[in-house]
Amino acid sequence: MPPSISFPVAPSLSPRKRVLVVNCYVDYSRQPIRRPTKFPQAVGPIFLAGAFSRERCEVRCYDELASGPLENESLLGWPDMLVLTGLTHCFDRMLHLTAYARTKNPKVIVVAGGPAVRALPLLSKRFFDYSCLGDIEELREVITEAWGASYAAGQMLPRFDLAYWIKFASHVESTRYCNFHCSFCSLTGEGRSYQTYDLENIRRQILGAGKRRKLLFVDNNFYGNDREHFHRRIELLKELRAAGQFRNWAALVTNDFFNKQENLTLAKESGCELLFSGVESFDSVWLRSFNKLQNTSLPQVEMISRCLNSGIIFCYGLMLDLTTRTIADVRRELEFITGTPEISLPAFITLSIPILGTPYFYECLNDRTILPETKLRDMDGITIVQKTLDPMDEVVQFVRDVEQFRGLRGRILKHTMRFFQLYRSKLNPLQIAIGLEQGLLLSAHTLMTSSTGLGWLKQRRQRTFVSTTEPIDQLYTPAFRVDARLRNHFQPTMVTDKSGNLTADLVNSGLLKHRTAPAQIDRRAVAIA
């Protein structure tokens, strides 16, 4: 359950400080729904909560992904410090919660971090007391400056005890960032190097999470480029699994992991049950154009079937880039996937997103492909934010259909039956269920991930799916009365103006400080050719 909300609105007067850490979220459905079964769940709040002294601070966490929009006035007026994190397109939600908290407690200290804050450092300084541009450990420096060193934890460990929304699998982290540099990835834009945790830190995390059947590594790339460290982690997993700490584990790896059968063997022997990898596309030309070279060393069908035949379920995402590919081309790819039972179906599908600060964003800015009057909130993976090769009305209809896989459901059903026949003797019942579930996720994603989605599906408003014309969500209307000076916190952050140029706010946001030269590949020319 979310943290209790029966608190007085008045701020604390005792030496023990009150802290509320929130994962901010706006849903791609444009509705204020909860997604408690969406996997994986947010872990940022529990890692950030570990920065505070347990003796001197009372810390609570709230996850808007699992619990829905935070609008309770008592809880928002409770903390002495509000710590906010979230995905890039959720930046506006941080502003909303800042306005709510400052209305209820003008003395509250607001701290914000995450990819959006790092991409927009100067803009963030206008709204937050502290804008964290570094790693999560920077929060201890903020605490020390605001309250004194005694309020910061001596050792920063995740507060699994506060993660009320994580019920079935322990979520831990053994490495940070990635050793590859895909042009559309925010990690590439930030230029941070791949890091590994020492084994004792990993051990403490796993033990601190408690005994559970499933263990999930939330690393950006569990495999990485430190092979010795990878092998030592595998040995640690074998040890802790034998001790009964968990039964099976899962992780995200890059495609190069599958180049060696030895890696799959080691993973399976240590209890690996599921691996996620960003396939993105089955088109090698497109992959090279986005510098995703690690995906071109082994044919994807061979890679996926190799994983499945090793007794590990394979999950992946698919990126539909309608800026450089035609609808017909993308449809052929979807038909290929649904007609190939040797591979699992994608776990999710997203449109290409020019995430702020990435090389891809600057390239799109240079090529003027971002549509006029695009809001930062629109960059959610289902709203069309770029010019397309096909006429926009045809693209909109295609996106409407592909959101629920209309026109492909018969193929999905046939694929599911053949997939079951191929792998029922090689995968355990849970793995088979996960493989079969992918079809349901594609066909009815909201119903599969949200306990409140059905009601909203019945009454949801008509969408345009185009950033230029898509209305803002009801979240941009304050849930209760806020201070007049904070009303501007509910104005959407605009990326482009009516002419398609970068808005003045973003020009002055610090976004262009680390702008890189545009890539030499003309993707639209490649697509047309």
Q: What is the three-class DSSP state of 317?
A: strand
**Domain boundary assignment for the chain:** 17-151, 168-369+405-443
Are 86 and 175 within 8 A, CB to CB?
no
State the Cα angle at 352 between 477 and 117, rounded to 5°.
Answer: 50
Token pair 């999560």 is found at 136
Strands 313-315 and 272-276: parallel
Smallest CA-to-CA distance from 223 within 193, 187, 192, 263 is with 263
Beta strands in 132-217 (DSSP E): 169-172, 175-176, 195-196, 214-217
C-alpha torsion angle, residues 472, 77, 137, 250 (rounded to 10): -60
State the Cα angle at 360 between 357 and 362, rounded to 5°.
Answer: 60
Alpha-helical runs (H) found in 375-428: 392-403, 409-423
Are 45 and 21 within 8 A, CB to CB?
yes
Are 45 and 162 within 8 A, CB to CB?
yes
**pLDDT tens digits, one per residue of 287-310:** 677 676 676 667 899 999 999 999
State how far the Cα of 66 lies from the Cα of 63, in Å rounded to an integer: 6
Identify the pLDDT of residue 14: 55
Are 183 and 146 within 8 A, CB to CB?
no
Identify the pLDDT of residue 515: 58
Locate 514 and state its tokens: 């680390």
Pick the CATH number of 17-151 from 3.40.50.300, 3.20.20.105, 3.40.50.280, 3.50.50.60: 3.40.50.280
State how far the Cα of 488 lies from the Cα of 92, in Å rounded to an integer: 11
Identify the pLDDT of residue 460: 57
CATH superfamily of 168-369+405-443: Aldolase class I (3.20.20.70)
Locate 374 and state its tokens: 């695009």
Q: Name the phi and psi angles at 350, rounded to 5.
A: -135, 150
Locate 169 and state its tokens: 């699998």
Low-confidence ranges of the chain (pLDDT < 50): 5-10, 445, 447-448, 453, 455-456, 516-529
**DSSP annotation of 152:** B
Smallest CA-to-CA distance from 523 within 325, 381, 350, 351 is with 325
Smallest CA-to-CA distance from 267 within 306, 212, 323 is with 306
Which residues have a Cβ under 8 Å from the Cβ of 521 and sit 6 or more positions away? 289
Q: What is the three-class DSSP state of 150?
A: helix
Identify the pLDDT of residue 36: 87
C-alpha torsion angle, residues 12, 15, 17, 18 (rounded to 10): -30
